[in-house]
Chains A and B, each alone.
Chain A
Amino acid sequence: MAELKIAPISRLEPGHNVPARNEACPLDLGWVREVRVNLSAAERRAATLPGRRTVKKDAQAAWLLKAVTCIDLTTLSGDDTAGRVRRLCAKARSPIRRDVLEALGMTDRRITTGAICVYHRFVRTAVEALEGSDVPVAAVSTGFPAGLVPHDVKLKEIEASVRDGAKEIDIVITREHVLTGNWQALYDEMRNFRTACGDAHVKAILATGDLKTLRNVARASLVCMMAGADFIKTSTGKESVNATLLVTLIMLRMIRAYHTRTGFMVGYKPAGGISAAKDVLNYQIMIKEELGRDWLEPDYFRVGASSLLADIERQLEHHVTGRYSAFNRHPVG
């Protein structure tokens, strides 16, 4: 297992070359403890932002297409089969009907989804199905979704998925470490996951619905970034509350704080419950406002979703034809 390189905490000067990947930093408990979140103020921001910004017409079509490129097209069900996964991979390769892309003048952009996201069992199937497409395969790992299998089993699971060709690993943290304030344990766990991933990028699922308070979310975000997470991600999709704009606001602010202090850009992935085109626009707007335009590309933004794509397809067709569309007019994944 290769050792993870740890960068010193330093305030980087503007203009510094941004490293491609979060190199992590030592656990700074002082920083973790000084994190403060006012719920009412955060709610106000999250509630009013969708009223402050909107995109219409061509801009909206472009933003929705961008959203497509950021979708981790996901299937995480007990009844998944290789056939089901291959169907999804085909959709990932060509998510938007060709005539719609033509009408939008976007055929030359090779629009695909950001990734395919599956359980370890189907990593190899997906890698084969996506060959030659540049669409990476992400595997949920570390005893997803509860994350309560033995630590060494988690590491072995990661290594197995990487071996099978996964380029991205979505790990789940041990929520107990957050709920008991055991930041050292969370940091150590995350560091091990990152190291086990090697060159594969690691997304840390915080399971914000289990963490309950925004302060917990903020601190867990920060510790995971210190320990080398490439992305922080809201949820497994299995908690009772999944991605919300409120929790997104707090995670984005922590990404910004981490970037300001270390210079590393960490990505953000909301997952669960984002099924309407209108919803994903609000996430994109919040990212643009809180982090900036650079975070809107698939390198730094993913959205974990299964039914979102279908709604975007309908909206794009409506944009092109001026008529409301229907699901059956678009090929399923």
Chain B
Amino acid sequence: MSVARYFDEMSYGPAPEADTEARAWLKRHDATFGHFIEGKFAPPSGGTHLDTIEPATGVNLARIAAGNAADVDAALAAARKAQGPWAKMGGPARARHLYALARAVQRHGRLFAVLESIDVGKPVRETRDLDIPLVARHFYHHAGWAQLQEREFADHVPAGVVGQIIPWNFPLLMLAWKLAPALALGNTVVLKPAEFTSLTALLFAEIATQVGLPAGVLNIVTGDGATGAALVEHPDVDKIAFTGSTEVGRLIREKTAGTGKALTLELGGKSPFIVFDDADLDGAVEGVVDGIWLNQGQVCCAGSRLLLQEGIAEDFLNRLKRRMSRLRVGHPLDKAIDMGAIVAPVQLQRIQSLVQTGLAEGASIYQPDLALPKEGCFFPPTLLSDVQPTATVMQEEIFGPVIVAMTFRTPDEAVALANNTRYGLAASIWSETIGLALDIAPKLQAGVVWVNATNLFDAAVGFGGYRESGFGREGGKEGAYEYLKPKAWANRKPRKVAEQPQLQIAPGGFDTPVLDRTAKLFIGGKQVRPDGNYSRAIVSPSGKLVGEVGEGNRKDIRNAVAAARAAEAWSRATSHNRAQILYYIAENLSARAREFAARISAMTGASSARAKAEVEATIDRLFSYGAWADKFEGRVHAPPLRGVALAMNEPIGVVGVVCPDEAPLLSFISLVAPLIAVGNRVVVVPSELHPLCATDFYQVLETSDAPAGVINIVTGAREDLAKVLADHDDVDALWVFGSKSASALAEKRSIGNLKRTLVDHGLETDWNDPAAAEGPILLRHAVQVKNIWIPYGE
């Protein structure tokens, strides 16, 4: 085209980024790659390779090794061998390695950016301006945590050998999110990149070796889902960290259940993008562009559900459509495009089919009249409006450049619609009224909330989901804990399985008997009879009948969960108020200390001195959590922008608690008190063998102003009730202590709603040791961190 023609048209013309260096790197490897194990490339033991294509053209780009169980085994062996020395070399030495990795990423920034763009199909502008700088930032930030580890995480040791499985949408960035904290804190890694996009990970491994990363610290096994499964199922992995679909996340949860492997999952989302009528509408339109058309919408936290206040909806959609007409879709290496290619034909088909479903279900569609490249996987930016909550496209993650819009009337309705999803990854709020925005942010069920912004990420700020968007955080101090385990739990031993004492029936005498007491269940602040109306005998070690408790069943659990759900006000109560109630419970227990001690002795056969000590320890523990209630605070992160990110410790919601048999009163309170201190409501199954100190506790609760439904107690068979709690989709988290098999079933059956689980795998906790049983060690599991990003300025 001539200068004169451009002068008349004022069009942009092509602006290609050179790919010479990236192609040369591929050529040096004959476009064929092995795994990266113990510091070198190794051919796949099975001899098979997979093709990886260039999405913008559909042409084969390279062949990557297809990993099998033997490859995974070799990689894990290398990681295991390296883990001890890597941990022992100390934080400051590891910090130097992380720092070198950060510098190396910056030095090779353009090569990474171009290779990533070719392999994923995303615009080189994004890899250059977003992905790669954030990769470097993650290594810098975590070099810092390595340096500070011995002081800041003195109570923790590395998790060990970690298996990491990452997705194809941000290949190198997800590598950095996983690798940086793991390596910084003394773990070694076997990483499985996505089969579509393994190349930058292999380049990274090569460069990491060049800058001196020791052999075995980072190992990469490429391949498809089968390779990932081999990694997940391998017995010699201490932790699995996965980012990907909720569907695969469920499988991984199921496979790792009961193995003792730690797990973090960062899964899908259907994140709301809420625009109030007092928002900067043009600013919010740009937010939509950054929210749903970043990386062709293939972003787990994409703002894909547009919720518009009715008064501005039409105006907003008009502005949005105009903006969409200005978007440019083209070759990923063109520096002046907004959207590149969809990663693979299978994803393109999925997007097309979901959009068709949306249309069939009544949505209106807007797609601007844009020129799309003729070859390759491309899909235009798409707006589906007039979409109702019942529509498939409002519920399902599309994972493409498609936003669905609907309206709301009031802030309450916005919150209700925003939370009307199984997911809970991110949310974006647009309003110029500080009171409104900061009122809405805590009400949203999402791990990340952006106020007047979207898709902001930083290594200092935790990222991760609520609900079925997964659990665990990446980034920030909250993310560092995911690659550590408490020292105090490191040497727990399997508990001896307590013998069920045999009831010796003996007739009574002619003295005036003690007045008969019926221990019922405690649900919604009331003592209620068990639904089944069966009782269970509670027998002392010497075979004496100490009492009878109700045999709780699934309907009792259902009722208890409903009561706990209804007690939502507890989660909003002030921390001061919650502290007062914990202190008051301690006060009332103290008044009846002798009675509780006698009960413990009668049930467990403990000496009266020991029983008395347990009651005193329990009172002390309640006091501790009264103290913690208004002190287990969040953090204010300082990401690199003018603004703050508030890391708020929020209650998880309704938590099931299954208690062990040892120290029946102390363990019961040690588990319940941290949960309620931070605002959860609980459904507790007390010790199966010694539940009477829990049923006696009803009266303490009734006199302590604990609101109805905050603590619900259902006595009965541990495993049966644990199963019902694990299966219940309105239970947000489940803590199971006291049994290996109950732990395993809790994890396995938690997949319905991906509830957070904390289990002891049958290892006995010393409840008298505050280091193991009190404070942050449990409080951290009682909350989920929500990061609220608040950029500011006028």
Contacts and interface: CB of A to CB of B under 8 A. Distances in A.
Interface of A: 36-45, 48, 51-59, 61-63, 65-66, 104-106, 109, 213-215, 253, 284, 288-289, 293, 296
B280 A41 contact: yes
Contact of A41 (B11, B452, B794): B452
Interface stretch (B212-220, B281-289, B368-376, B411-419): B281-289
28 contacts: A38-B283, A38-B432, A40-B791, A40-B793, A41-B284, A41-B286, A41-B287, A41-B452, A42-B280, A45-B283, A52-B336, A52-B338, A54-B15, A54-B336, A56-B15, A57-B13, A58-B1, A59-B6, A59-B12, A62-B4, A62-B5, A62-B7, A66-B10, A105-B2, A106-B7, A109-B7, A215-B794, A293-B9
B335 interface: yes
A59 to B, nearest CB: 3
A288 B11 CA distance: 9
- Which of B4, B290, B641: most chain A CB closer than 10 A? B4
A219 to B, nearest CB: 13
A48 B129 contact: yes
Contacts of A57: 13
A106 B286 CA distance: 37
A45 B453 CA distance: 11
Q: How many B residues touch the partner, as a band?
A: 35 or more
Nearest to A65: B7
- Which of A39, A65, A293: most chain B CB closer than 10 A? A39
Contact of B452 (A38, A45, A51): A38
Chain A interface SS verdict (over half): helix
Given A41-B452, A53-B336, A65 B3 contact: yes
Contacts of B792: 39-40
A65 B10 CA distance: 11
Given A38-B432, A39-B793, A41-B286, A51 B125 contact: yes
Nearest to A40: B791
A66 B794 contact: no
B645 to A, nearest CB: 13
Contacts of A45: 283, 286
A54 B335 contact: yes
A64 B43 CA distance: 54
Nearest to A295: B10
B21 interface: no
Given A54-B15, A105-B2, A41 B10 contact: no
B350 interface: no
Nearest to A103: B3
B279 A36 contact: yes
Contacts of B3: 58, 61-62, 65, 104-106
A289 B281 CA distance: 16
Contacts of A65: 3, 7
Nearest to A289: B326
B634 interface: no
A293 B452 CA distance: 29
- Which of A43, A51, A66: most chain B CB closer than 10 A? A51
Contacts of B1: 58-59
Given A40-B791, A45-B286, A61-B3, A293 B10 contact: yes
Contact of A38 (B7, B15, B280): B280
- Which of B3, B12, B286, B432: most chain A CB closer than 10 A? B3
Nearest to A249: B282
A109 B9 CA distance: 14
Contacts of A51: 125, 128-129
Contacts of A38: 279-280, 283, 430, 432, 452
Contacts of A109: 4, 7
Contacts of B286: 41, 44-45
A51 B126 CA distance: 9
A51 B335 CA distance: 8
Interface in B1-33: 1-7, 9-15
Interface in B246-300: 278-284, 286-287, 290
B335 to A, nearest CB: 6
A287 to B, nearest CB: 10
B496 interface: no
A59 B281 CA distance: 32
B432 A55 contact: no
Contacts of B642: 40
A59 B280 contact: no
Given A59-B1, A59-B13, A62-B5, 15 more contacts: A36-B281, A40-B453, A40-B641, A42-B283, A51-B125, A52-B125, A52-B336, A55-B12, A55-B336, A62-B3, A62-B6, A65-B3, A105-B4, A106-B3, A213-B794
A39 B7 contact: no
A210 to B, nearest CB: 16
A44 B453 contact: yes
A158 B386 CA distance: 53
Contacts of A42: 280, 283
A289 B290 CA distance: 15
B643 interface: yes
Contacts of A53: 12, 336
Nearest to A37: B280
Contacts of A289: 326
A233 B8 CA distance: 25
A40 B336 contact: no
A296 B10 contact: yes
Contact of B283 (A41, A54, A59): A41
A21 B354 CA distance: 47
A56 B279 contact: no
Contacts of B10: 62-63, 66, 284, 288, 293, 296
Contacts of B128: 51
A291 to B, nearest CB: 10
A284 B7 CA distance: 13
Contacts of B125: 51-52
Interface string B633-677: 000000001110000000000000000000000000000000000
A291 B474 CA distance: 40
A107 to B, nearest CB: 10
Contacts of B281: 36
Contact of A59 (B11, B326, B335, B430): B11
Contacts of B794: 39, 213-215
Given A36-B280, A52-B336, A58 B15 contact: no
Interface string B320-364: 000000100000000110100000000000000000000000000
Nearest to A212: B794
- Which of A38, A55, A65, A253: most chain B CB closer than 10 A? A38
Contacts of A59: 1, 6, 11-13
Interface in B683-736: none
Interface in B414-467: 430, 432, 452-453
Nearest to A41: B283
A42 B641 CA distance: 14
- Which of B14, B278, B336: most chain A CB closer than 10 A? B336
Interface string B375-409: 00000000000000000000000000000000000
